[in-house]
Amino acid sequence: MTKKKGTDTNKLATKQALIHKFSQPMAVMQPQKNFLLSFLNRRSMISCRLGLTLLLVVGLFGCGYLTTPGLQASNLSFGSNVTPIRSIKPEQEQQDTTVYVQGKVETQVPLLNQWAYQINDSTGKIWVVTNQPNLQEGQQIVIKGKVRYKSIPLANQEFGEIYIEEK
């Protein structure tokens, strides 16, 4: 029986030590702000999403002129720096003007150290003189170049032609 009494005494002592230990006043832990995740509150999350959406839209429309001659949306025009071929005229004030022309390669002619390509968009055709030998017939291209005019007078008639010289 002494063994049982000693065991009970040990259990009682352990229980009292635990009660004494946990009954002491404990320091209250203060929550700390996590500055890394503090931007995730509702207001700034909406601002972040709105900013990313705006950036995406601007990025998409900013590169749109490279693939389409112009996207018409009511009175807005995207990619409007591509010049329709019908609007290129041989007037003196338009010569040496830099233009972008987009169209399909219809004809190619090798020249001495250069190539000439006839480009067709839905508004007309124009010749483009370039150093690029690898353009294929039927290929859609965008060319940046200067408007030029070559006068060809024959029998008191003018057979001059406007063309674009690629920069």
For 142-160, how does the pLDDT look when each residue is reduced to its tens digit (9 = 90+)? 999 999 888 888 888 888 8
Whole-number Å distance between alpha carbons of 58 and 49: 14
Share of the chain above pLDDT 70, in %: 64
Where are the extended beta strands (E) located within the chain?
71-73, 76-78, 98-110, 115-121, 124-130, 140-150, 153-154, 157-158, 161-166
Q: What is the pTM of this model?
A: 0.50
For 78-137, how does the pLDDT look when each residue is reduced to its tens digit (9 = 90+)? 456 888 998 888 775 566 788 899 999 999 999 888 999 999 998 999 999 999 888 899
